Structure 1
């Protein structure tokens, strides 16, 4: 036999896709279950039907071994919900603590990014938490000790505002505000935690982390202290994003950009009162002004310079009134068109940007004020005029110019977003974004500096919570010098595995853009920046007080002399009241970004994975990286998984006003609307797993019904497997793979390949691929192929026969492999099936019994080639009789002597057989195996031919073997018991069935 000679096999299963018609639809077309018994066996042509009472078949129904199981085909409504809750109570309650106590060679740490404790759980939470749980359950099943501490981000303005509600802040002390906010956060945490548990998320729910907890705050303050001691944290007066609607500074991660914001853009002139020395001798240059364009006219009063690009070309263009404008040469005609003016036939003068050096302009709205022309690399030549109005107090790039050239940085805007007294009496108290803008434009028009005003739709930063525009204004704040950390952070990030890969580029871009990080805020409900200001000598003292502060409320409660460090108290010569308690609080991104210090274990202190939404690219991913690099010079994570957002079925952002919000509680427990039945937690989990998480994830009735239907089909398959394992004990009745039928051995080989693919997909955080591999395996390899072939052997062979026990052994391995492979995604269904499965003690849980158990023994040399060769021939056979029942035909296979013939001989040693493994695989009445087709074939014989490429020993043995087939209707009668066409007459059982029935009696 070739199977004994060949030592290696290598052949791609290229023909699998053509097998959907192979006796197919066994599960979904022909099985019906009632009273724990399966009736029907497949395509309607094999095995006796018990419903045919009074017929010949009815005489033998008790001798047919039909599937039996108490596992329900369907579980819906309250029964489904009760079953899930029962499984959670019995199987999941102690799972996390159990796996933490067991011995394991490796640990897997998934650090939970803290969800915000400001409301009820939503589908975004479900997407994130279930993804993490799928990952954790897989790692636990394959033997790793999972470290997963759920956490909550408890601080911040949204919680503060919601907690106060209609009370407002009037008359409330910081401590009272903090108490109200804490109570609100605790209520939100309780609701979210209950939801996460109901979704089946595995964790020790009594040991979570909270950013308002004293231990957490102490760890965070330690990070602050270390960064401050390294000079990375400092106080400074510089422009920051300021939210007038929140009255606080904002970090860039707290902004959202409105692409439809409308600004009142203007073209304005700054008259040159002193020409640049390099062009002062030009006679034609009279009444020259530089032309600027800005979308923020309110910043004009704060102007301190006009910037140009040194290596760019500029032109001086004469207007109709003979005045002359200077702006970028490339925009001569486009600007003229915008201004609806006709330039001269040619510009008056061309010049290089560097020739503008030394020029002085008159400020358009402030009499007697002059501003210089200055070079700057941030000037863009892609839009505008190439001459940039520069207000150092109200622009990041503007501030850089001011720092370089020692320009004043005077803030003309207060914390409410209104002009202050420095702006002058005409502007004072006017909101800069509304009436203030109106007034500035009016002032420019009155002095003749306004050339044109136009609406400009562009992207503009908004406060991500209040949804109101922000302004840039200088303020004395605490900053982190990220410029000194960026290179190390980027180097560390290169060693981090990021999925999808494109997200790494976004992270690097955001790091490049961030030169400093404002970490102070002007609210009450965040961790307090514990520092004092000595008003007598203006020195600032940073005081971490790890030994004193049990929580940051102490900063507001205790007297100053208790909080001041002993070394400072010794130096106090005047009253303690010379020290002012700082009232700034920490940015919530620093607050949560230091979570690695409080949660990760000291042994490695790097998480294997962070799994969060794409909004965290500029948020938690980055703040965690920067703080960890600053303190430990390494990233806090080895892998980043960046997923998209949950959106409606139309791809819209979910909004109550649009009525498209999908509540996960309603998904699980059902809603008042009949269109929203109780789906249970596993449908929610399947939706998460099946989705392409790296894009926007759509959810709605269509997606949920699809998930429910997919699980229903899976239950059907599992019920079939359980039903055919009735009475089978794998511990005592399993057949050694070497003694199995080749098709059974082949299925073990396929199961091993399936387990490898599934394991790889989980390892790549790709649950969607797991589902695709699962569905292909069930529909292609099992339902349409293997189940169709073995049903006769299962139902009609003797109960204890080697052939029947052989396929039962495979079915038990398949059942075990499938339920373990789906367990991370569908833990409730997996545990339910495991309770009905044979081979383990009652009460044992699947999640404590390990991952898929496959064996290298299942891959036998030559096995794949033998079955694949037979399948190629079967494809030719079935394509010859489209739509017909293969069991009604005799098949003759003619193969010239060689490897393919020897492979087929391993499946059928005798020349002709109705019961060989080859006949079973072909599902024909009889198979004749010969070296050439007989010459006396009947006229109605159907002929076909084909080839099969044998590729053995890594290509050392290659043979393209030809075969011919002849198909003729069988002359045999249908057996009244097994319904195969192998009987001598219609009222007589076939020899196999006669033997089985006689043994039974």
Structure 2
């Protein structure tokens, strides 16, 4: 026997793809199509051995056939499905699972830090995508024995909540505490709705100890981070341009903007007459009346102009217009496009380098007697415009950098409502800069003959993401974090972080680079107050480690409402003032700004993660967090402790409609997860239940946009139905089997059963790897391939006769049931993180468990090295190669009606087949079972007296042992002839002597039963 002879051989799986075959494709890779549909190529639920109605002999033996029996329902729909899921959650202790696993001993932990969703509305499919994706990984880690740390949280502050809480009331007449009370009530209601939904989806978490950014302890931890950063000089107050939202009257961070690509501006080309020529131009004759030409999409900023900037290493030209002889200074490479725009020729008079423009002075186009210099700047580009940039330091980040370098004034002419102040002059005062103000400035340019051209410009422009209104850039006294000093450290920390998909790394780095500074103060009431006091007369800020530490202690005890509730003497007690070397508390007033919500949530690592190692294994959020929570968490953590707060980042896409459109109520394409689970009242959506929602998440490519709609949900339901049907088949055939008493030792099992355990082991390893890489989609594909190819199309087809017709307690049947029990266990556990309700339902019906035991408290897929036996693969796969040749010889016919003769020259392949059939001819051997034939004859060559109608075929099988050390390309021949035997009335195989008598196997089983 070869299996005995090579028992010491360790071989490498050559793989089906490396096998060499002739005479038909490999059966394991495709379904067998047999016209009779019995005993092969059938679905798991089909009864291959059930006698047809009518035949008296068949009816006589019907009750002796061991058909599948189980109370596990084939299908659950509607209210029964919903009731079942809720019952499973109750019976199987879903609510207690998190605390149970926290209490058990574990060698390793797994920390997934939950990014806080906004507490500003009902749960939506974006929540479902995010929370279920996290839960799949958490449940997998818990199953494989790790102690999971997952505390769900909510971002409770910010303008969205404040606006929704106040509704039409506005803030007029309401004090900070009134506004905060209403905002908190609104947030609490949203949290309750979202939390209930997350629990209904089966998300395992510490629901009794969630974190909330409005909680006093959280706020205190946040202030500790703020203090650390302030102590290191990273937090400072300054007067500089920030994104300002006139519609919500507050400063905004870059992460609080959304860019409207369809924004339309009135762009202008305006002239700035040169009153002092640069030396190079002064030396040329006839250039006394040259004007610098600039282009801007924001004409309202021209009254704040303090300079015109050029690129030092670019080339510039003085050109003469052919239509009116006007002289203009522009970038040489922009001349052709400007000529086309002006519909005239532009004749070059002279050229010079950008650096030769130094020393030039221009007349301001709207302010008489004001002159502005020509200055070099690196931010000037040649992509659009004239190559010369109008510079208003109060209204641009790059412009402000120029002003800082050259000590230019930063005069703000725009108030908090986005209107011109009196500094802009009586003609502009009180006009909204984006509308009437722009109109008036353009009118002033016309009056001074400085307007060369006006055009409509459609371009991307920043909007307030809450109010959906355009923002402006204006200077304001705000609190900032110096991100420039943190960027290099942050980039270094990111080198040690795994990012999925890796392509998201460049986006994260680009957004980090583009952040010149981070404005962290907001002019709102609903948030964490910035713990700063101002001197009543000098307005000098009072902020140090003593004042901040005291305020943090108060917040932890009383919550941040105490900032407004307590008298100033309680916020600044004598001992704090003494350490601060400050005057009496009455000299100070409390600050009115609150912290940016991105600072709120970005400090969550300090408030939520375990102190022993406040670094999460993973952060998992949507791609919008590349410039949001991922970044604010990174910057705060790097600032305080020089390392990232996460070991890996998982960046998923957004949920969109089935047409790929962003969901919106106006388009009517919003998919409500509650309606997905419970169905719609109008019947538009059936009740799919939570597991369908979870399968949708799992099978999707979450690293791109994830489509959801009826077709995606129906597909998910159908996929689950196939899994359910397979599990039901396994359960049905385990009726009466107790794995604790009747399990067969692997070495005594049939080879095909052992082979399936070998495949199950490989399946388990692949599934484990996929879950470990956050690739639930790969898990689904591996599972479906295993069920369809290895189980339904191959194994179930082969074993049905043995399962149904062998004696109940026979070694062959128990061997099969041993394999089926392991397969059931492995498949159920493999799908459990995705379909916890189905998995626990199956587990309740699985034999051999203690009462009250649940799947999620009993571990991950079991595997044994015993299942990988040398020579086993070659024996079964060699037989399957021969079977392919056999079936290809009788396309569409029932193989059970044929006798097969296999001829193999002496060698390894012959010994492998001999291990499956020791006799030269048999109707009951393991080889016969694999071939699904009536009889198999095994010989070293084909007999000479073959039936004249015999079908001949040939093929080869490549045996690969010891990792290629032993390789043998083994040829074989087969002869296929119709069998002369009759069909047994009990098992319906063609192995009986006559139609009215049982075959020997069935005769023995029936007589033993009686």
- 2:32 is aligned with 1:21: yes
Give structure 2 stretches of 5+ with no counterpart.
18-25
Three-state SS of the structure 2 residue aligned to 1:548 is helix
> Is residue 561–residue 569 contact of structure 1 (8 Å, CA) maintained in 2?
no
Matched, 1:385 2:389: no
The aligned residue for residue 468 of structure 1 is 469
CA distance in 2, matches of 1:955, 1:594: 56
Are the counterparts in 2 of residues 907 and 916 from structure 1 also a CA contact under 8 Å?
yes
> Over residues 267-309 of structure 1, what are the superposed CA-to-partner deviations in whole Å (9 max), with x where a residue is unaligned?
1111111111133201142311111111111111111011111
Say which of 782, 789, 809 aligns to 1:800: 809
Shift of the 575–950 alpha-carbon distance from structure 1 to 2, 3 Å rule, reads closer
Give the Cα–Cα distance (whole angstroms) in 2 for the partners of residues 307 and 868 of structure 1: 76
Contact kept? 1:265, 1:293, Cα under 8 Å: yes
Deviations 1:449-475 (A, max 9, x none): 111111111111111111111110000
Are the counterparts in 2 of residues 27 and 783 from structure 1 also a CA contact under 8 Å?
A: no
How far 1:596 sits from its partner (Å)? 0.5
Structure 1 Cα separation of the partners of residues 962 and 38 of structure 2: 36
- What's the offset of the Cα at 1:944? 1.4
- Partner SS, residue 625 of structure 2: helix
What's the counterpart of residue 364 of structure 1? 365
Alignment of 1:18-167 (within 5 A): 18-21=29-32, 40-42=46-48, 47-49=49-51, 52=53, 54-91=55-92, 92-167=94-169
User: Hey, what's the Cα distance between the residues in 1 that align with 2:206 and 2:919?
Assistant: 63
Q: Please list the CA deviations of residues 417-465 of structure 1 after superposition, one character each: whole Å capped at 9, or x if unmatched.
A: 1111111111111111111111111111111111111111111111111
Q: What secondary structure does 1:227 align onto?
A: helix
Whether the aligned pair in 2 keeps the contact of 1:686 and 1:707 (CA below 8 Å) is: yes
CA distance in 1, matches of 2:141, 2:573: 47
* In structure 1, distance between residues paired with 2:427 and 2:957: 92
Between stretches 864-873 and 759-768, larger displacement belongs to 864-873
- The CA deviation at 1:321 is 1.8
Superposition map of 1:445-464 within 5 A: 445-464=446-465
Query: Which of 260, 263, 266 matches 2:265?
Result: 263
> Are the structure 2 counterparts of residues 552 and 815 from structure 1 closer, same or farther at C-alpha, using a change threshold of 3 Å?
same
Shift of 1:760: 0.4
Deviation at 1:866, TM superposition (A): 1.1
| Equivalent residues in 2 for 1:705-744, closer than 5 Å | 705-744=714-753
Per the TM alignment, residue 28 of structure 1 is displaced from its structure 2 partner at its CA by 12
Corresponding residue to 2:680 among 671, 676, 697? 671
* Cα distance change of structure 1 residues 143 and 688 upon mapping to structure 2, 3 Å threshold: same
Residue 396 of structure 2 aligns with which residue?
395
Distance apart, 1:546 and its partner CA: 2.3
Q: Once the two structures are superposed, what CA deviation does each residue of 1:301-329 show, in whole Å capped at 9, x if it has no partner? A: 11101111111111111013222111111
- Would you say the 8 A contact 1:48–1:976 is kept in 2? no
- Superposed counterparts of 1:535-684, under 5 Å: 535-542=536-543, 543-544=547-548, 545-549=551-555, 550-567=558-575, 569-570=577-578, 576-684=585-693
**C-alpha separation in 2, matches of 1:416 and 1:928:** 94
| Structure 1 CA distance for aligned equivalents of residues 583 and 86 of structure 2 | 66
Cα deviations by residue, 1:951-991 (Å, 9 ceiling, x for unpaired): 11011111111111111111111111101111111111111
Q: Secondary structure at the match of 2:130?
A: helix
Q: Determine helix, strand or coil for the equivalent of 2:516.
A: coil
Cα distance, 1:567 vs. partner? 4.7
Q: Distance in 2 between matches of 1:974 and 1:260?
A: 77
2:996 to 957, 964, 987: 987
Map 1:179-578 onto structure 2 (within 5 A). 179-319=181-321, 320-344=323-347, 347-542=348-543, 543-544=547-548, 545-549=551-555, 550-567=558-575, 569-570=577-578, 576-578=585-587
- How many angstroms does 1:26 deviate by? 8.1
Mapped to 2, the partners of 1:522 and 1:573 lie a distance apart of: 26
Match of 2:932 in 1: 923
Q: Is the 8 A contact 1:23 1:785 kept in 2?
A: no
CA deviation map 1:58-110 (0-9, x unaligned): 11011100000000001111111111111111211211111000000011111
Higher deviation after alignment, 677-686 or 935-944? 935-944
Distance 2:55 2:912 in 1: 45
2:849 paired with 1:848:
no
Q: Contact conserved, 1:26 with 1:784, CA < 8 A, in 2?
A: no
Matched residues in 1 for 2:694 and 2:57: separation? 49
Listed as ranges, the gaps of 5+ residues in structure 1 are 33-37
Q: 1:3 — aligned with what?
A: 3
1:850-929 alignment, distance < 5 Å: 850-929=859-938
Segment drifting more, 979-988 vs 216-225? 979-988
For 1:915 and 1:95, locate their aligned partners in 2 and report how far apart those are by CA, in whole Å.
49
SS of 1:413 mapped into structure 2? coil
- 8 Å CA contact 2:41–2:793 kept in 1: the answer is no
Q: How many angstroms does 1:31 deviate by?
A: 6.6
- Once the two structures are superposed, what CA deviation does each residue of 1:884-903 show, in whole Å capped at 9, x if it has no partner? 11111111111122211111
Deviations 1:9-56 (A, max 9, x none): 221122466431266988999679xxxxx7x524xxxx242x525532
Structure-2 separation of matches of 1:573 and 1:649? 63
The question of whether the paired residues in 2 share the 8 Å contact of 1:22 and 1:785 is answered with: no
What corresponds to 1:35 in structure 2?
none
**Contact (CA 8 Å) 2:29, 2:789: kept in 1 or not?**
no
RMSD: 1.6
Q: Equivalent residue for 2:20?
A: none
Report the TM-score when normalising by structure 1: 0.97
Name the CA distance, whole Å, in 1 between partners of 2:583 and 2:384: 59
How far apart, CA to CA, are the structure 1 residues paired with 2:269 and 2:408? 24
| Secondary structure of the corresponding residue to residue 409 of structure 2 | coil
Do 1:22 and 1:788's aligned partners in 2 also have CA atoms closer than 8 Å?
no
Q: Distance in 1 between matches of 2:175 and 2:930?
A: 82
Instruction: Give secondary structure in 2 for the equivalent of 1:270.
Output: strand
Q: Distance in 1 between matches of 2:831 and 2:553?
A: 49
Residue in 1 that maps onto 2:22: none
Q: Distance in 2 between matches of 1:111 and 1:193?
A: 16
Distance (Å, rounded) in 2 between the aligned partners of 1:683 and 1:826: 8
SS in 2 for 1:940: coil
Count of equivalent residues: 988
Q: Distance in 2 between matches of 1:508 and 1:718?
A: 47
- Partners of 1:350 and 1:893 lie apart in 2 by 92
Note the C-alpha offset of 1:369. Answer: 0.6
In 1, the alpha carbon distance for the partners of 2:149 and 2:913 equals 53
Instruction: Answer yes or no: is the 8 Å Cα contact 2:956–2:969 preserved in 1.
Output: yes
Is 2:573–2:585's contact at 8 Å kept on the other side of the alignment? no
SS for the counterpart of 1:410 is coil
Measured at CA, do residues 772 and 572 of structure 1 come closer, stay the same or move farther in structure 2, by a change above 3 Å? closer
Secondary structure of the residue that 2:279 maps to in structure 1? coil
CA distance in 2, matches of 1:631, 1:574: 31
Give the deviation of 1:578 after TM superposition. Answer: 2.7
The answer to whether the 8 A contact 1:26-1:783 is kept is no
Q: What's 1:746 paired with? A: 755
Deviation at 1:675, TM superposition (A): 2.8
Quote the offset at 1:904 in angstroms: 1.1
SS in 2 for 1:546: helix
Distance 1:59 1:618 in 2: 74
Quote how far apart the aligned CAs of 1:399 are.
0.4
Shift of 1:849: 0.3
SS for the counterpart of 1:278 is: helix
Tell me how far apart the structure 1 counterparts of residues 5 and 408 of structure 2 sit (CA, whole Å).
88
**Secondary structure of the structure 1 residue equivalent to 2:480:** strand
